[in-house]
Each structure stands twice: as structure tokens, then as C-alpha cells.
Amino acid sequence: MKYFVLLAADGELPPWDKLAADEQEALMARFGAFDEACAARPGVEILSSEALGDGSTATTLRTRGGEMTITDGPFAEAAEQIGGFYLLEAPDLDTVIELCRVLPAYDIDIRPVPDMG
């Protein structure tokens, strides 16, 4: 099954740019450990993953009454902190949850990607 794993919010972690260099390194190490944990797991593959640009670099498109409006910033305040995503192939939800424990303690949103085939 495919899963979309969204690093949705900082949780209790300070924002990235408020962290000291060594704290950032520690978090980077956890991202590395996640990649290794996925590689080591049967049936798991990281299909795609990216860190996202800061919320301040976002642009939102909204269409209402047929008119599209373009504005600065993410679509909602809650979306300010979205930091990145993974698209994973994994056999089941519990496998994904276990692997996510290796990631930094962000708020994480896990969605199954339905097989449209």
C-alpha cells in the first residue's frame, strides 16, 4: 500500500530556524536514521520525499464564484508549519507508525493513497 506521510506541524519542537546548529544536526541524524530504517524493512520503500520551503515562501490559490485569487502564504495558519513529506510503499499502517517513531517528534499526518488501478 502507498502512504503519504506529512510532517504537518512542529509539535513540541521549536521551529527549525530557532534551533542551534547542533540541535539541527541531531534532527538531521534522525531523518537519516529513518531512511536507513525504511531501507532495512521488508516491503518498505521510500518512493519520494522532500523537505518543503518555509511557510513564508508559500503561495495560495483560491477559487470562489469562478474567480481565482492569488495570495501570499499557506492556505491556513495551521499549514504554516508543514515541513515536508514522504511517499512510502509499506505493507501496513503499523509498519509506517513504527518507522515514524524514528523521525523527529513532529506532528505527522498519515494518509493511505488509494490504489486507483
Partner 1 sequence: MTSTSDPSPTWAEGPVERVFRTEWGRLLSLLVSRTRRLDLAEDALSEAFARASDRWPGEGMPADPAGWLYATAYRHVVGRLRAEAIAGRKAPLLAVRPGWVPPDEPAEVLADDRLQLILLCCHPALPSESRSALALRLVVGTSTEQIARLFLVPPATMAARLTRAKKKIVLAGIPLGAPLADELRVRLDEVCRTIYLAFTAGYTPGTGPDLLRADLAGDAVRLGALLHGLVPDAPQVRAMLALLVLQHSRRDARQRDGRLVTLIDQDRSRWHHDEIRAGLGLAAGLEPGKGYAEELRLQALIAAEHARAPTAAATDWSAIAGHYAALEALTGSAIVRLNRAVAVAEAEDPRAGLDLLASLDTVLPDSHRVAAVRAELAQRVGDLDIARTSYRRAIDLCANEVERDHLRAQLEALPPPGSEVTSRGRRS
Q: Look-up: residue for cell 517528534?
A: 105
Q: Which is nearer to partner 1, 29 or 113 (CB)?
A: 113
Evaluate the CA torsion angle 40, 92, 89, 86 in order and state its sign. negative
In whole angstroms, give the CA distance from residue 103 to residue 40. 15
C-alpha cell recorded at residue 110:
498519515
Site string for partner 1, 87-106 (x = CB under 8 A): ---xxxxxxx----------
Cell triple for residue 10? 512542529
Query: Is residue 3 near partner 1 by the rule CB under 8 A?
Result: yes
Q: How far is the CB of 94 from partner 1 (least distance, A)?
A: 6
Identify which of residues 25 and 45 has a Cβ nearer to partner 1 in the complex: 45
Check residue 86 for interaction with partner 1 (CB under 8 A): no
Assess 114 for contact with partner 1 (CB under 8 A). yes
Q: Can residue 14 be called a binding residue for partner 1 (CB under 8 A)?
A: no
What contacts 47, CB < 8 A, 6 or more positions away?
Answer: 2, 87, 88, 89
Contact positions toward partner 1, by CB under 8 A? 1, 3, 41-43, 90-96, 110, 112, 114-115
